[in-house]
């Protein structure tokens, strides 16, 4: 574990550096006007501790509990403990001061103090304080987004703690801290179900200990995972449970975290006024606490809330302050969050160039944070930890079955050859699978790119921009702004949807309505269209491939209706075929496919339509995750005299 070795080499530096460190503590203790060393109560407690030199966390904490947030008193205790070579006491006090600095977001000072506490714990061979200090160092590294190093320390703490046969309450508590931290790691990787399983395990252990702080923290973490998974109601329930525990223990810091999370749910559910009611009081509370990590998040969410009520000046002020604070403490996740909110704000204000700049900066920062090598290393560490744990269990079972192993040794050659063959076959199959997976991913990426090209074809963009230009030339500002708003919303939806495999039916219908609105403006509102959804279908719950309907609508308009002289009609009907499939029908009363082909042959500029073919491939890719297949049927419609009267496209899409 290279990072641990480096930290220990650093901590075992020269005696001169150590003397300088303690001299600094002495100056802080003796020069403060309100030095707690002068307090007779503290003097008596310190004298008793130095005399008895207890080694457990509980004994030292019970004695110094009332001073654990008093840096002057703790520094004074460290100076006296140093003179008495009381390493366990020094480790306790250094960790407490480190925690105070961490909560103020002064992570550099916090890290130095926790590392010094770890050195003291190792000097006294105190396993309890060693585990505690390892977890504290790991927590600071995680706050600094140094995930690899933080994981090293938390796993080391967990390994030492789980090896203790009769753990104390404090050791059990630190096992929970390590589990919680590993859960945070899974959360960082986007493995939310795995993270929830770790938090749930820690939650059960905290319940057994009756530790309300631990119950609050783990409920908050589970809520955050559920929020990322899109389960906003489940997340809200967990946040409220966490808030209740924080109220019981009267933790102002915990209350602010919960209130900020609940406000964020309100914002995602389009309830900005409720969010403001929680965030505005929280701002004063977090300002007095001084934790800039949560402070920057509260500021960003306040900006979001003001943006939703169109108070853009206040929104920008809070977002910029949140970004400044996130940069000040070097918090990449908070920087990205604030930049994306500012991008959204500038877009709403019509400053699209500035919006794009913020968006690009956020994306570039996000890519750095998701460095592929870093993630692979973390995954390897997780697998290594799980493998080592399983290896220990296998070794214990192997000792109990030694007689069986002796008999099996006679067939060692056969087993070895079989293992080599299985390993060889397994390796070949794995290589073939990886090659197949790579080809599949390339094909999906190609489909996404082709889909985006088909949705954003230059003819549509050019004609739309020409329409806007015409409105501007004619000084028709109202229609120009109206058209531009619809056009920008459609472009954003297409860009967002091009990276998604599926979306809800409701979002797809909103996208095609924007598209039809824009096309209809270009046809001087000459197209009459209607979108009908049967009552037994819930568009918010039903999933379909993203941007799947637009190519069919484009064909209907440009190949069916554009050449028609009289009334132009277009219908989109969604109905349920059975419990397995839904039917989406797109019907136009255009000139029909045969007439359209003749018209297309006579055109000087011929548009090559590839959208339908791409859509068929995407539907096939979408249906792979479902039990049943899909179908597309294009039907020519005729009147009683046998003349073409339009075209009907029928899409049959699976729901299970």
Residue 519 banded pLDDT, cuts 50, 70, 90: confident
For residue 356 the two structure tokens come to 């794009």
> Can you tell me which residue has the tokens 């792979």?
624
Query: Within 13 Å, how many C-alpha atoms sit on residue 412's CB side?
Result: 6
Three-state DSSP class for residue 580: coil
Mean pLDDT computed over 298-302:
92
Q: How confident is the model at residue 605 (pLDDT cuts 50, 70, 90)?
A: very low
pLDDT digits (tens, 9 = 90+) for 271-292: 999 999 999 988 888 888 878 8
Residues 192 and 75: their CA atoms lie apart, in Å, by 41
Q: Find the angle CA(194)-CA(198)-CA(201) to the nearest 5 degrees.
A: 135
Poorest-pLDDT segment among 269-273, 344-348, 617-621 = 617-621
**Residue 304 clears pLDDT 90, i.e. is over it:** yes
CA proximity to 593, closest of 638, 548, 630, 632: 638
| Least confident interval from 340-344, 415-419, 536-540 | 415-419
pLDDT at 191: 83
* Three-state DSSP class for residue 626: coil
| Cβ atoms 652, 630 nearer than 8 A | yes
Q: Say if residues 215 and 251 touch (Cβ distance below 8 Å).
A: no
Q: Which domains are delineated in the chain? A: 19-189 (1.25.40.10), 206-290 (1.25.40.10), 302-362 (1.25.40), 452-654 (3.30.565.10)
Residue 549 has pLDDT above 60, yes or no: yes
Residue 460 is predicted with a pLDDT of 64
pLDDT of residue 626: 67
Mean pLDDT of 99-104: 86
Tell which wins on pLDDT, 43 or 23: 43
Token duo for residue 183: 């859960």
Q: How far is CA 480 from the centre of its chain?
A: 38
Task: Please measure the distance between the N-terminal and C-terminal CA atoms of the chain and give it in whole angstroms.
Answer: 47
Among 343, 269, 342, 328, which residue's Cα sits nearest to residue 296? 328
> What distance in Å separates the CA atoms of residue 281 and residue 285, rounded to the nearest whole number?
7
The pTM (predicted TM-score) of the whole model is 0.47
Residue range 191-244, pLDDT digits in tens: 889 889 889 988 988 888 888 998 999 999 999 999 999 999 999 999 999 999
Residue pair 371/364 in contact by the 8 Å Cβ criterion: no
**2 or 70, higher pLDDT:** 70
Angle at 213 between CA 210 and CA 215, to 5 degrees: 65
**CB-based burial label for 213 (10 Å; 0-12, 13-18, 19+):** middle
Contact 304, 341 (CB under 8 A): yes
Which segment, 145-154, 355-364, 464-473, is predicted with the most confidence on average? 355-364
More confident residue, 380 or 486: 486
Higher pLDDT, 428 or 10: 428
Contacts of 72 (CB under 8 A, 6+ apart): 28, 29, 32, 34, 35, 36, 37
Percent of the chain with pLDDT over 70: 79
Contact yes or no for 138/181 (Cβ under 8 A): yes
Question: Residue 553's pLDDT is what?
Answer: 87
Q: How many angstroms separate the Cα of 127 from the Cα of each of 77, 121, 169, 606? A: 22, 7, 13, 78
Tell me which of 566 and 244 has the higher pLDDT. 244
Q: Where are the alpha helices (DSSP H) in 349-411?
A: 352-369, 372-400, 402-408
Half-sphere exposure of 449 (CA within 13 A, CB side): 6
pLDDT confidence tier of residue 331, bands split at 50, 70 and 90? confident
Which H helix or E strand runs over 241?
A: helix 232-248
């Amino acid at each position: 574990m290279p990072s641990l070795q480096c930290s220990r080499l650093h901590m075992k530096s020269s005696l001169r550096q150590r003397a300088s460190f303690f001299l600094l503590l002495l100056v802080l203790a003796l020069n403060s006007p309100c030095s707690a060393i002068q307090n007779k109560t503290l003097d008596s407690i310190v004298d008793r501790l130095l005399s008895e030199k207890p080694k457990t966390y509980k004994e030292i904490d019970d004695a110094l509990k009332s001073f654990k947030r008093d840096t002057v008193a703790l520094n004074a205790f460290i100076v006296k403990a140093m003179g008495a070579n009381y390493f366990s006491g020094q480790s306790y006090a250094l960790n407490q001061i480190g925690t105070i600095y961490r909560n103020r977001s002064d992570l550099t000072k916090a890290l130095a103090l926790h590392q010094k506490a770890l050195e003291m714990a190792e000097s006294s061979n105190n396993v309890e304080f060693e585990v505690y200090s390892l977890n504290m160092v790991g927590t600071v590294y995680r706050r600094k987004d140094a995930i690899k190093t933080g994981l090293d320390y938390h796993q080391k703490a967990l390994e030492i703690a789980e090896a203790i046969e009769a753990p104390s309450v404090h050791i059990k508590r630190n096992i929970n801290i390590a589990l919680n931290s590993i859960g945070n790691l899974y959360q960082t990787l986007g493995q939310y179900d795995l993270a929830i399983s770790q938090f749930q395990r820690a939650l059960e252990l905290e319940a057994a200990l009756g530790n309300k702080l631990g119950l609050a923290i783990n409920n908050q973490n589970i809520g955050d995972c559920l929020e990322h998974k899109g389960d906003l109601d489940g997340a809200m329930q967990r946040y409220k449970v966490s808030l209740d525990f924080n109220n019981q223990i009267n933790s102002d810091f915990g209350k602010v975290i919960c209130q900020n999370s609940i406000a964020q749910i309100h914002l995602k559910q389009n309830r900005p006024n409720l969010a403001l009611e929680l965030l505005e009081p929280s701002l004063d509370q977090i300002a007095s606490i001084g934790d800039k990590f949560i402070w920057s998040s509260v500021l960003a969410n306040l900006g979001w809330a003001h943006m939703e009520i169109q108070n853009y000046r206040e929104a920008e002020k809070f977002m910029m302050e949140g970004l400044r604070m996130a940069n000040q403490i070097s918090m990449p996740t908070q920087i990205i969050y604030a930049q994306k909110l500012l991008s959204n704000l500038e877009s709403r204000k019509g400053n699209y160039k500035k919006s794009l700049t913020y968006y690009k900066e956020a994306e570039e920062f996000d890519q750095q944070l998701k460095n592929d090598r870093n993630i692979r290393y973390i995954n390897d560490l997780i697998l290594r930890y799980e493998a080592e744990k399983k290896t220990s269990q296998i070794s214990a079972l192997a000792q109990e079955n030694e007689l069986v192993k002796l008999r099996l040794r006679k067939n060692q050659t056969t087993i070895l050859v079989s293992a080599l063959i299985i390993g060889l076959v397994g390796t070949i199959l794995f290589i073939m699978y990886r090659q197949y997976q790579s080809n599949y991913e390339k094909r999906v990426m190609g489909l996404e790119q082709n889909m985006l090209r088909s949705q954003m074809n230059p003819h549509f963009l050019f004609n739309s921009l020409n329409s806007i230009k015409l409105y501007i030339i004619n000084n028709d500002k109202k229609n120009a702004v109206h058209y531009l708003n619809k056009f920008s919303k459609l472009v954003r939806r297409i860009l967002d949807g091009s990276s998604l495999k599926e979306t809800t039916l409701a979002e797809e219908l909103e996208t095609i309505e924007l598209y039809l609105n824009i096309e209809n403006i270009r046809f001087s509102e000459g197209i009459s269209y209607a979108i009908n959804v049967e009552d037994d279908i819930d568009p918010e719950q039903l999933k379909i491939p993203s941007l799947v309907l637009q190519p069919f609508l484009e064909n209907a308009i440009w190949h069916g209706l554009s050449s028609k002289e009289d009334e132009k009609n277009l219908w989109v009907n969604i109905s349920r075929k059975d419990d397995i499939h839904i039917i989406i029908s797109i019907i136009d009363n255009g000139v029909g496919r045969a007439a359209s082909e003749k018209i297309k042959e006579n055109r000087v500029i011929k548009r090559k339509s590839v959208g339908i073919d791409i859509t068929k491939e995407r539907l096939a890719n979408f249906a792979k995750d479902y039990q049943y297949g899909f179908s597309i049927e294009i039907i020519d419609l005729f009147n009683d005299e046998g003349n073409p009267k339009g075209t009907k496209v029928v899409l049959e899409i699976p729901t299970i």
